[in-house]
Structures are given as C-alpha cells and as structure tokens.
Amino acid sequence: MECKIVSLHSTHEPPLLEVKNLVKQFGNLTANDHINLHIQGSRIHALLGENGAGKSTLVKMVYGALQPTSGEILWQGERVIVDSPARARELGIGMVFQHFSLFEALTVAENISLALPANLREGNLEQRISELSHDYGLTLQPDALVADLSVGQRQRIEIVRCLLQQPRLLIMDEPTAVLTPQEAQSLFTTLQRLTSEGCAVLYISHRLEEVKQICHGATILRHGKIVASVDPQIETAASLAQMMVGAEVHAVSHGTVAASGQPLIIAEQFSQAADTPFGVDLKAVNLQVRAGEILAIAGVAGNGQSELFAALSGEQTNNKPQAINMCGQACGHLGITQRRRIGAAFIPEERMGHSAVANFSLSDNIILSRHSLRDNHDQQSLVGRSGTINYTLARDINMHIGKVYDVRKGQPDPEAGSLSGGNLQKFVMGRELDRRPKVLVVNQPTWGVDAGAAALIRQALIDLARSGSALIVISQDLDEIFELADQIAVISRGYLSPAQPAQSLSAEQIGLLMAGAHETSTQAQTL
C-alpha cells in the first residue's frame, strides 16, 4: 500500500535550518556556489541533482563533515559554526550517509555504541536497539556481525544509530538505493512517524517517483548552483529529471532479442554453504543464460544475493568444477582472475572497498581488475605484461571511460574516494563494460546514480547483451528489472525460482516469489 506523507504543521513557522550564500571550493572547483536554502520542521525536503551537482558537499557542510569557504548556517534562527559531526549531533542534526561508516568486525550494537555520547550508552543498549528498530520497522539483531549483513541491513544500523539520538533534522543520502520496494515503503512509514513528531528530513534521492510520493518541497542543483525550487507533487518525474540534467532524459531502448545463442552461464543443482554464520546457504540453484540474454534476479536484501554473486564471480569457489560453467568451461573451482581470463566480468554492489580502493587513483583501480586481461575488442591491449604495468594504457582507459560514461571528476586521474557515489558507480560500471566481456554478472548496477546516468548504464547493459554477451543482473529495483530483463528469477532464503520470460510476470507475482512461493518445489528437488 502506498504511503503518502502529509505535513501536520504550518509552513509559516520559522525555518529549522537555513543556509545563506554558502560556498564551497576545492582548489579551482566550486562545488557549491552561493547556496540559499531553508528547511522547516515536520517536512521532508528533497535535494535533487545529477551526480556531481554538489548535493553531498552541501549536506556534509550542514553536518560538519566539511567547512564552507564562505556563507553562514543558521539553526533555529541563530548563526552557528558546525565544525564537526559531533557538534551537528549536539544541535540535533543526524545523517545517514550513502557510504556507510561501519566497522565490519564489530557487532550491530558495538557499531551503534561507538557513535553515541556516553549518556546514551548507559543501560541495556541492545534492548533499546531491538525495541526502537522494531517500533520503526527497521528490525535488527544487536549481536549480529556487520560483516555478515546485507547492504540493506547495514543501512538500518545507520538509521537506528541516528534515531537513538532523537534528531530534529535527519539528512538521508540515497536511503532507498539498496532497498526493495517493500523496504522502501516501510522506510516511508518511518519518515511519516518522524515528521508527525516534528522532525524534518533533508532527502537526497535519484528515484523521482518516490520524491513525488513523500516530499513536500524540492531544491534542484546543477553544477553547484540552485536552478529550481518546486513542489515535487505537482511535477512529473520527467520534468524533475529534465530540471536536474538540463535536457530531456532519453528512454532506454530494449532492442530486439536475437535468436537464442549458446548457453554462456550454467549452474545445475548448485548448492553451497555460506562462509559466515550469518550468511545464507545457496540451495539447488539452477540457471542458464544464453548469448544475447539478460537474466535479472530479484529479491529482498539478505536472501542470498551476495552469496550468489560470490559463487558466480569466484570469490567463493566450489570443489566441483562442473558446479558452474561459463563460456563453455567448467569453472566452479576457478578464482576471479581465472574466470576473467575466460571472458567474464563482475561488478559487486558495494563500490567503495569492494569494486574500488578509495585511496587508489582511477587508473590504479583499472589495473587491479585488468592487470592480466586483453580487451576482447583489442587483442594487443594489455595493462600488464610479463610482470610489468603499462600505466600509460591504464590512464588512457581511464580517460576513455570518463568520456563515454560522463564520469565527473576534479582532475584527470583522482583517487576513487574523491568521486561522488554516482560518479564512482559510473566508473566501475564503465571499467568492466569497456572490456565487452562475454559474460557479465552485476549486483545493483544503478545504485545511487541519477536518472540520466541510470539510463546510460542500462542502455549499455542492453547493448552488451544484444552484441552476444550473457548477463546476470541482480537488482532490488523492480522498475530496473522490468526495463532490462529478458528472463526474471527471484531468490528467497537461498532458493532461486525458475526463470520466466519478463513479459509473463507482474510485480505482484514477483512479490509472491520474494515471499518464498517457489521454495517448496525447490526443496523437493534437493531431497
């Protein structure tokens, strides 16, 4: 059921937060150019813009993670210096970052405790975490290790950590990017409760339909400047996107599926135990993807997507070579590099730390995944040869990817960690797509990218498939799944449903499969 948030408070109250002529410069780059913005209590205000527009820079200044070059911040009508996140939290400002700040070796409760002031760590913190997370529909196990949690579950930790401090303003950067539609609706209910209690929300999202659904106002940035302030509920998603990018966003063309080619990805009755206590065992997985096809795999976060990706990519190998076959070769026992050498490419969901090393340059990150590979379209092109590295070629590839995929950066070859989330996603997608692999497995391909970039990435995936490659796309975005897929399967508690033609399935049918409707028949096959 769709949740429509309605403000219960007057819009004539003084602003809770106001920024005046805020400027932030990084060398010669002006990330924010004289920004004026005000946020009122009990309202959800969207901050929109394409990747690199300056959204994250602005909210980091409000949260104290960055300091403005000039301008001022007013909190409840008084000028304040927010010189640290701790100071922001003292004022009543909380933030859920797009890239989570969690220690994987610690438990949920330990991670939450680290960010709390001493007075909030007193008493039975684990019980308070359980109660609050349950009350707000964000259920967590306080004793679970973060390393064993899905991305969606990790986001809950960040939200609960903020809510325990009872913020007056909650900043959320791409909060639904890794959530299923059901989880997103649960989050919207949480936000409805918060606004009814007087909290304000500053909401960054590239999902424009949800902005229309829940936000009372929207400020749109382009190239660091405010270009519009609108009521999103009377706009269309297309009009919002056009204001964000300054041009019409072209629709994705699915193209014509050619006659079925040879199977390039095969798994038959594939089972594999999770390598962590909180992981999900894969059970009797069957899949087949032919040349020219895209198989999309849907599912609620934490139902085996990460384990399936690890098994397909070779991060977790199997002692049975025939367990997985790619490009005509048994490869269950092969690691990632060996699978890449036979023509496969892999893009995990977590771009920072998993897809890319934050303090490595972009060209160095290219070397990490392509040091022993020839490009399929250029058999003479080697980044690494006989123990030496061709840095010139790596830099050339970086420049090419930046141009084709519109990766916006302050310098030609910056550190990966300096890019905005969406631009880093475009880079890691481009790095693998540029190889034109025969097999591609990608987890959450458009997580955190704007409408224009999402269309670019999805079109590139379709074009790769239509050129004769086989693709598996793991996604929690049903709109994306229907836009990309030729075949759709659903994973639930480690069981994968039989693939069905995309046009034969509805969102409601996929929802039933997410709830495990296919598990009984799959269990019978394993007996």
265-301: pLDDT as tens digits: 999 999 999 887 778 899 999 999 999 999 999 987 7
Q: Average pLDDT in the 28-54 region?
A: 92
CA distances for 478 relative to 232, 269, 481, 482, 505, angstroms: 22, 26, 5, 6, 11
Q: How far is CA 357 from CA 65, 360, 365, in A?
A: 21, 5, 7
Average pLDDT for 312-331: 92
pLDDT score for 333? 94
Check residue 523 and give its pLDDT.
Answer: 55
Residue 285 and residue 407 in one domain: yes
Amino acid 378: pLDDT: 46
Angle among Cα 447, 449, 452 to the nearest 5 degrees reads 135
User: Does 196 fall in a domain?
Assistant: yes
Residue 10 pLDDT > 80: no
Three-state secondary structure call for residue 352: strand
Q: Report, as an integer, the average pLDDT of 104-130.
A: 89
The pLDDT of residue 509 is 84
C-alpha torsion 163→168→174→176, nearest 10: 50
Neighbour-count burial of 38, counting CB atoms closer than 10 A to its CB (0-12 exposed, 13-18 middle, 19+ buried): middle
> Range with the lowest mean pLDDT among 60-69, 400-409, 443-452, 518-527?
518-527
CB atoms within 10 A of CB 373: 18
| Shared domain check, 268 and 240 | no
- Rounded to an integer, the average pLDDT of 413-421 is 89
pLDDT at 409 exceeding the cut of 70:
yes
pLDDT of residue 516: 67
Of 200, 211, 145, the closest CA to residue 176 belongs to 211
CA–CA separation, 287 and 269 (whole Å): 9
* Predicted local confidence at residue 517, as pLDDT: 63
Domain span including residue 281:
263-526
Domain boundary among 192, 214, 245: 245
d(CA 339, CA 121): 47
Q: How confident is the model at residue 374 (pLDDT cuts 50, 70, 90)?
A: low
Model confidence at 21: pLDDT above 90: yes
Residue 105 lies in a domain: no
Mean pLDDT score across all residues of the chain: 87
Residue 6 has pLDDT above 70, yes or no: no
Instruction: Please state whether beta strands 294-298 and 487-492 pair in parallel, antiparallel, or not at all (unpaired).
Output: parallel
Q: Does 157 reside within a domain?
A: no
158 residue type, one letter = E
Residue 128 lies in a domain: no
Check whether residue 350 and residue 238 sit in a common domain: no
Structure tokens at 410: 């302050």
**pTM, 2 dp:** 0.71
Q: Where are the beta strands (DSSP E) in 279-333?
A: 282-290, 294-298, 324-326, 329-330
CA angle, 424 then 430 then 432, to 5°: 115
Residue 100 within a domain: no
Number of structural domains in the chain: 2
Residues 275 and 421 in one domain: yes
Shared domain check, 237 and 200: yes
Q: Are residues 413 and 307 in the same domain?
A: yes
* Residue 1 within any structural domain of the chain: no
Say whether both 440 and 371 belong to one domain.
yes
At 395, which amino acid appears? R
Q: Considering only CA atoms, which of 19, 15, 190, 168 is closest in space to residue 94?
A: 168
Name the domain boundary from 199, 215, 245.
245
Residues in the chain: 527
Is residue 359 within 8 Å of residue 417, measured between CB atoms? Answer: yes
Residue 104 identity:
E
The predicted-structure confidence for 422-440, as pLDDT tens digits, reads as follows: 889 999 999 999 999 999 9
Domain boundary among 245, 275, 300: 245
CATH at 217? 3.40.50.300
Residue 425 lies in a domain: yes
Say if residue 463's pLDDT is above 90: yes
CA distances from 36 to 32, 67, 71 (A): 10, 16, 9
As a whole number, mean pLDDT of residues 172-181 equals 75
DSSP state of 145: B
pLDDT in tens, 183-233: 778 789 889 889 999 999 999 988 888 999 999 999 999 989 999 999 999
Where are the alpha helices (H) located in 181-299, listed in sequence order? 181-196, 208-214, 237-245
Q: Are residues 355 and 233 in the same domain?
A: no
Assess whether 228 and 269 both reside in one domain. Answer: no
Question: Quick one: 323 and 385 in the same domain?
Answer: yes
Q: Are residues 317 and 211 in the same domain?
A: no
Q: Is the pLDDT at 257 greater than 70, yes or no?
A: no
In a domain, 256, yes or no: no
What's the pLDDT score for residue 521? 53
Q: Is 380 exposed, middle or buried (0-12, 13-18, 19+ CB in 10 A)?
A: exposed
Closest-CA residue to 430 (of 448, 409, 405, 396)? 405
Provide the H-helix boundaries in 76-225. 85-91, 108-114, 125-135, 151-163, 181-196, 208-214
361 shares a domain with 276: yes
Residues 6 or more apart whose CB falls under 8 angstroms from that of 427 comprise 356, 362, 365, 401, 402, 405, 407, 416, 419
